[in-house]
Chains A and B, each alone.
Chain A
Amino acid sequence: MAKKHQTPMLDELEKGPWPSFVTDIKRMAETGKDACADLLGQLELSYKDKEGHWKHGGIVGVLGYGGGVIGRYSDVPDLFPGVEHFHTVRVNQPAAKYYHSESIRKIMDIWNRRGSGMLNMHGSTGDIIMLGAFTDELENIFAELTSLGWDLGGSGSALRTPSSCLGQSRCEFACINAEDICYDLTQSYQDELHRPAWPYKFKFKVDGCPNCCVASLARSDCAIIGTWRDDIRIDKAAVAAYAAGEFAANGGAHGQDVKLDIQKDVCDLCPTQCMAWDGKTLSINNKECTRCMHCINMMPRALRPGKDTGASILVGAKAPILDGAQMGSVIVPFIKMEPPYEEFKEFVEKMWEWWDENGKNRERIGETIQRLGLGTFLAAVEVEPDPRHVKEPRSNPYVFYKEDEVPGGFDRKIEDYRKRHAR
C-alpha cells in the first residue's frame, strides 16, 4: 500500500478553483512514490512549525560539471526518509519552452524511474527543474538525459541558463531572433555555463522588443532587448479600421467590445507626444519616438516596428542581495544582432574579462559597475560615453579628473605657488 501521512493543513489547499499542487502530489504519492508522500509529510510539518525543513546546501554533482545539480537534504530524514536526499537537477530548456509530447515524455520517463517525479515547469531562470533525486542516481540521470539530447543548466558562480521570449516564432513585435540568440549564446558558452569560474552568477535574457516579457532589464546581468532605428510602419487602411471601431483595442486585451479612441488612447498616452491624429491620418514624428511600444501594443494590426532592427544592451540588473535591487543600465544603445553575433560576443568577452578581474567574491557585475563607476566600465568595454547612457547628467560636482586630463598634470611645487601668493 502506498505511503501516506496525515496532512490536515495541506488538505485545506485542495479547496478552491485554482489548480491544487497538493492534489497533484497526492495522486503521485498514491502510485507508490514515497518521495511524494514524504514531501507532503515534511511540508505539513513546515506548515505546523512555520519554518522550512531543508538543510543548508550540500555539494553534489555530475562528473566534469561544476553546477547544474543543487544538493538538498531533509533535516528530519528519520521522519521522511523518501526525501532524505532531494537534490535538484536543472535541465536546460529549449529556448521559449516549446515542447512536443513525444520528446518530453521520454525525459519524464527518466524522472519517474530515477527521481521523485516532482518538477517545476519551470524554474525562475528558465530551466526545467527536476526536484528530488538521490545522490547515487545523478550520473545515471545525466547519462540518460544527454543520450536523448538534453543537457544540464547553470548554477553557482557561472553563466546561468540563458532564456528568451518566444520572439519571432509567434510574435509580430519581435525585432530580433530572440530564440536564436539565446540558443547561440547557450551553445557558444557551454564551458562558462557548466564550470563556475566567476565572482558570482551571470544571466543573459533576450527580449524581442521593449515590452520585455522575460523581464530581461530587471532580471539579467546582460539584457538583450530588440529595438529599431527607422520608422514605425503604418498600415493606413488598418488605422482607418481602428478609427471605425472594426478592430478591438490593444489586440483584444480588454475584450473584443473595447474599441480604440486613437486620440485619447494612443496619441495622448504617448510619452513623447510624437503622434498626431486629425481624424483621418495618423502621423508619427519618428525622430522623437522612444520606441516604448505603447502605440504598437494598442494597434497591432496597424502599426509595426521598423525594419532596421537590432538590440539595446542593458547591463547590471539583479535582485536585492547585496547592495539593493538594480535594473540594467544602457551600455550599448544599438547593436545589430545577426548570426553569428560576433560583434556582440566581442562585447560580452570584454565585459566578462573586466568583471573577472575586478569583481569581488559574490559581487554581481551591476555591483562592480556601481562600485567602480559606469565611466570605468564603459572604458573597459570600449564604448564611448553618450547621453543615452544616463537619465540625466550628474548633479554632483565632485568629478574624478585623471591627471592626464589636466594640462601640466598634478605635479606642482608649493614654492612656485608661494611666489605668487603670500602665506
Chain B
Amino acid sequence: MAERLTDIGPPKYDLFWPQVIKDNAGKWLYHDILEPGVLLHVSETGAKIWSVRCGTTRLMTTMMVEDICKLADQFCDGHFRFTTRNNVEFLVVDESKLEPLKKALKAAGNLPIGGTGASITNIVHTQGWVHCHTPAIDASGVVKAVMDDLFEYFGSHKMPAQVRISLACCLNMCGAVHCSDIAILGVHRKPPVIEHTHLDKMCEIPTTIASCPTAAIKPAKVDDFKSVAVNADRCMFCGNCYTMCPAMPLADADGDGIALWVGGKVSNSKSMPKFSKLAVPFIPNEPPRWPTTVKMVRQIVEAYVAGANRYERLGEWAERIGWERFFEKTGLEFTHHHIDDYRFAATTWRTSTQFKW
C-alpha cells in the first residue's frame, strides 16, 4: 500500500476561525443577546462579532450542509459553527449583513432562529430507529413532534430560565440525558427473549452472565443447547446483556416506550448540578407523532412557566416547592415506579416529617 496517512488528528481548532476571532480570542469582554437567536460579542479591542443561532435536525443530508454553506458564503465569508446542542451559528463580522441573513434564513424555512437565553433550545438526541440496534424508541421523530409543539419557545425568551431537553433511545444513554431539565428516555419493559438455538454460537456465555448488574442470568441447558436463563423478577431491562449477546433481544412493540425525567442540570450556577428525576414512568410508543409524550412534556413546561421564579431552573423550582407539589402542579400521577429500588434507593427516601399536604 502506498504512503498511508494515519493518526493525524482533526484539523486544528483555529484553522476555520474568522479573522475577528483570530484577532480577539481571549480578549472578549462581554456578550449581549440582542434578540432571540442573535448574540453579540464585544472584545476589549472594540471588535464585534454577531452570531445568529438556528436549530437543525442533527440528522441531516449533505444537501442540508450545502444549504448552510451557501448562507455562510453569502453572509459570513463562509464561516459557521455548530453548538453542542445541534444548533448552527452563522458568524457575522459585517453588521450590515445581519438583517439580510435573518431574512434569508426566514425565507429558507429549514433553519429557525432561536435557542438562546431563556428559551427551550434544540433537543440533544441519539439515533433511535434510524440507525441504532438497541433502541426502545425512535429519536428524530419524537424530537420533531416535541419541537413542533414547543416551537414558540425556541424563538422566544419566555422561560423562567434556560430549558435543556434531551432524548436517549435506551438506557445506554448515548445522549447522556441524566442531567437534563427534561429528559425523554426510551425504556424496555420485557426481559430479553432468548434464542437458545443460536446463543452459544453468537455469544460468550460467561461474559453474558457477567454482564448482568443484578445477577439475573445463569447458565442453562435448553433442548440440548448450551444457553442461559433469565430470572425475570430480577431483570430491570437495562439491556446490557443484549449489548454483549445478540441472541438476547429486548425490543418489543408493546414492551417499549418512553419515560420522562425532569429537573436535572449540569451548570454549577446557583445550585449544585443535579440528576433528572422520574416524572412519567411509561408512555407507549405512538408513532408517527407521539401525542401523549408531546402533551406531557408541554404539561411539565407549562407548570414550570406558571410556577417558577425568574432565573430558576426546572429542578430548582421543583425542589423549592417540593416534589409532592410538583406532581400536583403538573397533574402527573405519582406511582410505585417513582420510588427507587436499586443501589442508591435509600438516599432518595424521605427521612423527615417536613413535607407539604
Contacts and interface: CB of A to CB of B under 8 A. Distances in A.
Contacts of A98: 13, 15-17, 21, 79-81
Given A319-B178, A327-B273, A361-B207, A17 B58 contact: no
Contacts of A214: 84
Interface stretch (A171-179, A345-353, A415-423): A171-179
Nearest to A219: B176
A27 B171 contact: no
B343 interface: yes
Contact of A252 (B32, B140, B173, B179): B32
B133 A55 contact: yes
A362 B288 contact: no
A8 B117 CA distance: 37
Contact of A24 (B13, B30, B63): B63
Interface string B76-104: 00111111101010000000000000000
A244 interface: no
B341 interface: no
Interface in B53-79: 55-66, 68-70, 72-73, 78-79
B32, B55, B342 interface centre (most CB from chain A within 10 Å): B32
Given A13-B145, A21-B144, A293-B269, A121 B60 contact: yes
B129 A327 contact: no
A212 B4 contact: no
B253 A300 contact: no
Contact of A96 (B64, B81, B147, B342): B81
Contact of A121 (B86, B207, B210): B86
Interface string B257-280: 000000010111111010100000
A218 B179 contact: yes
Contact of B10 (A94, A100, A104, A292): A94
Nearest to A302: B30
A147 B287 contact: no
Contacts of B110: 19-20, 23-24
A390 interface: no
A239 to B, nearest CB: 13
Interface stretch (A42-50, A280-288, A401-409): A42-50
A51 B133 CA distance: 10
Interface in B259-311: 264, 266-271, 273, 275, 285, 287-289, 310-311
A131 B62 CA distance: 11
B8 to A, nearest CB: 5
B273 A218 contact: yes
Contacts of B273: 212, 217-218, 327
A50 B7 contact: no
Given A18-B151, A118-B59, A120-B59, A13 B141 contact: yes
A172 B28 contact: yes
Contacts of A256: 34-35
Given A103-B16, A112-B62, A269-B270, A143 B4 contact: yes
B209 interface: no
A254 B111 contact: no
A96 B82 CA distance: 7
Contacts of B55: 18-19
A11 to B, nearest CB: 8
Nearest to A164: B13
A122 interface: yes
Contacts of A135: none
A36 B148 CA distance: 23
B167 to A, nearest CB: 11
Contact of B26 (A177, A217, A258): A177
Interface in B305-335: 310-311
B287 A9 contact: yes
B63 A28 contact: yes
B131 A131 contact: yes
B235 interface: no
Interface string A132-151: 00000000000100110111
Nearest to B245: A56
B63 A104 contact: no
A37 to B, nearest CB: 12
Interface of B is mostly: loop
B269 A47 contact: no
Contacts of B353: none
A250 interface: yes
B33 to A, nearest CB: 4
A52 B129 contact: yes
Given A124-B176, A219-B176, A248-B32, A321 B84 contact: no
Contacts of B12: 94, 183
Contacts of A170: 21, 25, 28, 41, 49, 51
A105 B66 contact: yes
A50, A86, A297 interface centre (most CB from chain B within 10 Å): A50
Contact of B25 (A24, A122, A168, A320): A168
B7 A171 contact: no
A217 B275 CA distance: 11
A147 B130 contact: no
B32, B127, B131 interface centre (most CB from chain A within 10 Å): B131
A271 B271 contact: yes
Given A256-B34, A319-B172, A122 B82 contact: yes
A52 B133 contact: yes
Contacts of B242: 56
Contact of A101 (B49, B73, B129, B252): B73
Contact of A51 (B59, B68, B141, B256): B256
Interface string A80-115: 000000101001111111111111110010011000
A327 B15 CA distance: 33
Interface in A177-230: 177, 179-180, 182-183, 186-187, 190-191, 194, 210-219
Top 10 A-B pairs ranked by shortest CB distance?
A253-B117, A16-B148, A319-B173, A252-B33, A56-B246, A101-B69, A50-B253, A146-B5, A46-B129, A95-B13
22 contacts: A12-B289, A24-B57, A24-B64, A50-B256, A51-B252, A52-B128, A64-B4, A98-B17, A100-B16, A111-B62, A119-B65, A121-B58, A122-B86, A168-B26, A169-B21, A169-B25, A170-B51, A172-B29, A250-B118, A293-B269, A322-B213, A322-B240
Interface of A: 9-10, 12-13, 15-25, 27-28, 31, 36, 39, 43, 46-47, 49-57, 63-65, 72, 86, 88, 91-105, 108, 111-112, 117-122, 124, 126, 131, 143, 146-147, 149-151, 163, 165-166, 168-172, 174, 177, 179-180, 182-183, 186-187, 190-191, 194, 210-219, 247-248, 250-256, 258, 265, 269, 271, 291-294, 297-298, 300-301, 319-325, 327, 361-362
Given A124-B124, A190-B7, 6 more contacts: A122-B82, A172-B31, A212-B273, A253-B117, A322-B238, A324-B343
